[in-house]
Amino acid sequence: MAYAVYVERRQGGDRIAARYYWSAVAACALGLMAKPMLVTIPCVLLRLDFWPLRRTRGVTLVVEKLPFFALAVASSVVTYLVQKEGGSVSAALGFGARLSNAVVAIARYVGRIFWPADLAVLYPHPGFWPAAAVVGSIVLVAMVTALAWVQRTKRPWIAVGWLWFVGTLVPVLGLVQVGLQSMADRYTYIPAIGLQLAVVWTLSEFVRGAKTRGLGIAAAVLALAPVTWRQLGVWKDSLTLFDHAIAVTKNNYLAYNNCGLFQFEAGRREEGMADYRRSLAINPAYPDANNNLGHALAEAGRAAEAVPFYRAALRAKPDHFEIRNNLGNALSDVGAVDEAIEHYEFVLARQPRHLNALNGLGVALAMRGRLAHALARFDAVLKIDPNNVSAHSNRGNACAMLGRPDEAIQHYRRALALAGDDARTYYNLANVLSGQGQLAAAAENYQRAMQLQPVNPDAHASLGFVLARLGQRDSAVQHLGTALRQRPDFPQAKAWLDAVNASSPTK
């Protein structure tokens, strides 16, 4: 709007035109900050100069667009660098494959704008399109381009609309591949204006009278309303969204992975892992699904099974800090402490304030007996985040190992005050309290640990031992027996149970 007013004022010789001009430049800058694909706006403005503004001073028109081009170049450079730094720019596909996808995407975008069926939130990149699809798309693009050229004088809006459509799509056609999609419906909001412009102006030649045009608009709205209503239902939640994407696309490993993530976060862990496995059945090298499945297995206490999936994810993204941190955690859990330390140190060399890596490295160092170094890592975490639950709990463990029970109790209780749903922290606190002779408090914390984690043979056995010391023989026998049922090969629990039974009065 500001640009159109600027042109009108300029043609009328009004100096106020400068205000509208710089307003247009400012609006362009704000638009680029919101949506970098607006980098093609300077070219759109040049097309509007051709029609409907019919401005013909070629050099002048280009010169006045220079601030717009400068903004576009700056935005392009910043966007590229940010995407590359984030690992989103992919060099896995050659230029030929990317060019083929660009041509096919143009044809697919045209089809979906005019026939919005089987829309999906994610369209996975196939890698290479069949020759028939590429040739057919080239023919379509060539035919429309030829039509626009032939009609450039009689119906210039067709050329402007088509060039608007194709030109504004260029940044998102995958010539520089960002992400794993072959196309995305969200990229069509601005390009679609070009096709709408060409179609509406052409139809206006054949539809005369306000009443007839009003009926045509009403008919279009009525036709699109049920389609829109149905599409809104697809966006009910993440599961319906990605289930729909799976239904209307082929081999959508992206959607399977996202379904798995939704299922896992909703507490349906087995269903989530099944979806991750479906994703990997299609694309075994997909790093997100490998990492997510590894995380799900590790959360289920199956760290040894998680390690190969983390390694596969790391092969695809060797500089991904979270994958390295997750692999370090799993290796630490299976006893491969030295390798775990290597991964933590790799992360911290590049991100010294990575809290999870600092925590993990502290745990690994403690496992190696380097307790002073471990405490330093936990202290570093707590300096950055004083309410870090994991650091408080881990520091409590290190203090307990150093024979500093009062500090250990303090950190355990702080961790539980921040998040009182961790069975392991209740168990560790109970152990220290038991060692300090605070048997009643220890028994209470063992019981809380078992409430959170009913299958907990260590807590049952330790509680049985404490209850025996409190003279509650029957309850002690009960918990020691439960510990052995949950873990039949548990020599300490059996020894305690035998001792309790041996100390019982003879009948």
* 38-52, 56-70, 294-308, 356-370: segment of lowest average pLDDT: 56-70
Answer whether residue 362 shows pLDDT above 80: yes
Q: Is the pLDDT of residue 381 over 80?
A: yes
Residue 220 — pLDDT band, cuts 50, 70, 90?
A: confident
Residue 16's pLDDT is what? 61
User: Considering only 71-85, 87-101, 336-350, 471-485, which range has the smallest mean pLDDT?
Assistant: 87-101
For residue 182, give the 3-state DSSP assignment.
strand
Any alpha helices (H) in 317-438, and if so which ranges?
321-333, 337-350, 355-367, 371-384, 389-401, 405-418, 423-435
The span from the CA of 320 to the CA of 314, in Å, is 7
Q: Which of 77, 89, 76, 125 is nearest to 319 (CA)?
A: 89
Say how far apart CA 195 and CA 113 lie, in whole Å: 9
Q: In the prediction, which pLDDT does 141 show?
A: 96
What's the pLDDT at 179? 73
464 pLDDT exceeds 60?
Answer: yes
Who has greater pLDDT, 67 or 83?
Answer: 67
By mean pLDDT, which of 61-75, 218-232, 319-333, 416-430 is the weakest?
Answer: 218-232
Q: How far apart are CA 197 and CA 286, in angstroms?
A: 41
Q: For residue 20, what pLDDT is reported?
A: 85
Q: Which residues contact 405 (CB under 8 A, 6 or more apart)?
A: 399, 432, 435, 436
Provide, rounded to the nearest whole percent, the portion of the chain with pLDDT above 70: 95
Positive or negative, the CA dihedral 500, 503, 504, 507 is positive
Nearest of 425, 373, 381 to residue 402 by alpha carbon? 373
What is the DSSP-derived secondary structure letter of residue 505? P
> Contact, 162 vs 145, CB < 8 A?
yes
Indicate the residue type of 178.
V
The per-residue pLDDT for range 35-54, each reduced to its tens digit, is 898 999 999 999 998 899 88
Q: What is the pLDDT of residue 6?
A: 63
Is it the case that residue 151 has pLDDT exceeding 90?
yes
How much of the chain exceeds pLDDT 90, in percent? Answer: 78
CA dihedral 125, 131, 136, 141 (to 10 degrees): 60
Residue with tokens 């040894």: 304
Helix H or strand E segment including 461: helix 457-469
Q: Given this model, what pLDDT does residue 212 score?
A: 81
Task: Map residue 89 onto helix, strand or coil.
Answer: strand
Give the model's confidence band at 208: pLDDT under 50 very low, under 70 low, under 90 confident, else very high: confident
Q: CA-to-CA distance for 472 and 442, rounded, in angstroms? A: 14
Cis peptide upstream of residue 491 (ω within 30 degrees of 0) = no
- In this prediction, residue 507 has a pLDDT band, given cuts at 50, 70 and 90, of very low
- For residue 221, give both structure tokens: 């709205």
